[in-house]
Structure formats: C-alpha cells, structure tokens
Amino acid sequence: MFSFKSIKDYHTFLATTTHGCVQAVNYYLAAIEKNMHLNAFLEVFTAEALQRAAELDAERKQGTPMGRLHGVVVSLKDVICYKGHTITAASKILDKFESVYSATAVERLLAEGAIIIGRNNCDEFAMGSSSENSAFGTVKNAIDTTKVPGGSSGGSAVAVQAGLAMISLGSDTGGSVRQPADFCGVIGMKPTYGRISRYGLIAYASSFDQIGVFGTNLSDVALAVEVMSGEDNFDSTASSKPVAKYEEHSHKEITGKKLAYFSQVLDHPGIDPEIKLATENYIQSLKNKGFIVEAINFDWLDYIVPTYYILTTAEASSNLSRFDGVRYGYRSTEGIDDLNEMYKQSRNKGFGKEVQRRILLGAFVLSSGYFDAYFTKAQQVRRLLSENTTKVFEQYDAIISPTVPSPAFKLGEKSDDSVAMYLADIYTVYANLVGIPSISIPLFTHSNGMPFGLQLMTNHFQEELMFSLSNSFMIIDNR
C-alpha cells in the first residue's frame, strides 16, 4: 500500500513503477474523502490531478528527467491564486470568483512537476488564529476534533497533519503558518519577507504577508521553499538575493552556535506551565550538546501585539477596499436602488464579522486625528523593533522561543473574546514585524495529548542556517 515519508523516498518509489503518480494521487483522494469531516478542503481537483499524474507518469516512462517536485501532491490555502480555479479567501464576498492567473509560487511548483490537488479552508482573508472564521465552516484538528487546528492556515496544516497532501502552502502575516503547525504537530515555516514572491497571494497586510510551507519532513519544506524563492518581475518586494541550497542545509548537523531567548517570554504570565517547563528543559539539552544559549532582556514584548494589530488592520482596510460588489464576487441588490447603499450592503453581507472588525479598526487608526496617535506611533515601534533585532543578531546566531503560549484550545473557546484570541499571537508576530524567517518544529506533547513546538528565528535571508539548526534540534530531540 502506498505511503509517504519524504519526497526523496517518494522519488525512489517512482523510479520503480510506471504508474506511481496516479497511485499517489488516488491515495490522497481517498484520504481526503475519508476525512471530509475535518473540513480542511473547500475544493478538490480530482479529474485534473489524476490527469496531471498520468501525464507525469508518461513523461517518466519516456525518459524525461524528473523535476525536483515531480509528482509531489500539494494543496493550496484559499488565498493563493491558481489560474482557472475558484479562489474565495474563504469569504462570501468572493463567491464563485475564478482566478485569471497563477501565483508565482504556484507557477514555480508546477514547473518542477508538482500536482495541485485542491484548495484548503482558512480564516476569512487570513484573519484569525483558529480557522473558525471561514464562510464555509470551521476546520477541525485531526488529533482531537473538539480542538481548533490554529489559523489562519488551519486547513493547510490539517491537510499535512492528516496525510491529505505531501506538503501544503499557507500564508503567514503574524504566525498563520507557524501557529497552526504548532497546534497540529507538523513543521511550518515562513521565510524572510521578500524571499518568496507575493504575486498571486490575496493581500491582507502587504508589508507583513509571506507565503509559507507545511510539511512532515524538514527536507521537503526546505526543498519547496528553495523552489519558490527568488526574484520576480511581478513583485517589486521580492528579493534578488541568490537562493541557497536549502534542501542540502536541511540535512546538516551543527552545534556550537550562539542562541538567545527573551527572558520575558518564559516569564510571561500567559504561558502554559508545561510549555514553559518543556522549553526550559530543552534549552538545557541544547547546552549539553554544545550550544551556547543565553537569556536576554526584551522589554518590547507587551508592545508587539498592539503594534501588529494597528499596522495590519490599517493595511487590511486599504487592501480590502477593492472588494465592493461591482467588478466581481458577491453583490447585494435586493431592494436597493442607491449605489452607496449597494456598496454598504454588499460589504456588510459579504464580509464576516472578524474581517469587518479589522477593517473598522484599520479605518479608525488611519482616520484624521488618530493617525499620529496610533499608526505613526506603531510604525515608530516597528522601527525600534527592527533596530533592536539587528543588535541581537550582531551577538547571536538565532533566537528561540515557544511558538504559542498554549496548546490547541477547544472550538468556540475564544470566539467571543477577541483580545484573548489576539494574544495567542504574542510569540509569532515578532518575526513578521521585523521581516525575519521563522520556523515551528514539532518537539513536544502536552499532558492533554496535543502537540506543541519550538520556534526558531534567524537573521534576514539566513534560511540555510535556520534549516541546519532545525535539523540539529530535531536530532537532539530524537536521541
């Protein structure tokens, strides 16, 4: 029976069979059908995926060299464009909208032989930390269906967690890849801002958004990031820096590096005692293996979440103004004969409550009389955070922390408490504010049976070091 461990092993399997890609796709289609109750997929591209698999099998039979992602079954978060396919950002406002082009990241996956099997459910417009804000229902955690999978990329995380795809793509604006990876017990990584083109990613907050990757195998995640990275004429923020061989670095074992952790993180009153203890014990394990690990003061922790939500909601209110019910998507017309009223009703009925809340907050902080008090001040804090981050990396190779202050919580537990939901992002939004790469690696299990991980951050465009350290950390954990 077909099973998946890594892309490398999968390619070894394909070399021994003539119909391996079709077999793999059929395996994942059956798994998706069996797990529909998790609500991880909004749409499955059954016929298309099988056709693509058959074409790849035929190419291999003819002696065509395999691409780096030949036959790899991938799912996409419903905010990443795939030409000719529906994309809704899990929102009613984009009901039945079909993408007219593919994201650069998707094009690069396809060019290396990947198979796109479907699109994943998520929080509407990537706004949320639990995947409960979708217009198409809540995503459930495969380990415990009474628990949330995290958000906003919950469907993508569950797709990998439950074995419904080999890897999946999500988007990370403030932890939306790393937090659900933590809750689901898989690897979730977001690269440096600008490392992967944002062309074709529906914008939430443009100076924060980044496409990220979920996987169960570190080398698979590294390979996907390597394939998608690089400059792009369609995205002026995409970096032209050379792309390192991330997959090769994901197999390296290193030690002796100097690591920092913020003392305020482990001393924070909101952290789960078991997560604190596990992290402290792991820090000692790192020291025993030759790493230098030191606590440093970081007095900005309590300013991170407010700064993040001021800036991201401001950008969101601007980005989402384009969804007006006129050119595409949902339009409210019943009993309306006034253009302004049509705009109001279309957006009122098309957007969910959480999206409306963030649009209103963003409009408020950008409004006359409040712009300097909130938005300008938040930008100043962001600049100070960047400056302090530069100083940290002058002395240390990486920063470590828990990914999330608590394990996965119950469905509906925080739905009526927006502040509590926002504070769940306290450890992840920092990397987005300063644009550095970050990864969550699954290392621990809570007494309640839910997984949780460790977050690792390196300096800008130091993904190769991140993957080598992650591999070393996981080896330490497995010994």
The catalytic residues are 77, 152, 176
Nearest CA-CA partner of 140 in 150, 132, 148: 148
Q: Is 476 exposed, middle or buried (0-12, 13-18, 19+ CB in 10 A)?
A: middle
Could you tell me which residues are beta bridge partners of residue 378?
none
3-class DSSP assignment, residue 157 = helix
CA distance 265 to 246: 29
CA distance 374 to 378: 6
Residue 2 to residues 33, 163, 168, 218: CA-CA distances in angstroms?
Answer: 16, 12, 19, 21
CB 425 within 8 A of CB 305: yes
Would the CA dihedral through 282, 287, 292, 294 be positive or negative? positive
Nearest CA-CA partner of 436 in 474, 477, 473, 382: 382
* Angle at the Cα of 109 from the Cα atoms of 105 and 113, rounded to 5 degrees: 165
CA distance 381 to 308: 10
Element (H, E) at 150: none
Nearest CA-CA partner of 191 in 455, 452, 431, 454: 431
CA distance 403 to 415: 21
> What is the chain's alpha carbon radius of gyration, rounded to the nearest angstrom?
22
CA distance 320 to 312: 12
CA distance 5 to 26: 17
CA distance 274 to 405: 10
* Angle at the Cα of 140 from the Cα atoms of 444 and 96, rounded to 5 degrees: 135
Position 60, amino acid: R
CB 151 within 8 A of CB 176: yes
- DSSP per-residue letters across 188-215: EEE--TTTB--TTBPPSSTTT--EEEEE
Residue 83 to residues 74, 75, 80, 106, 471: CA-CA distances in angstroms?
Answer: 15, 14, 10, 9, 35
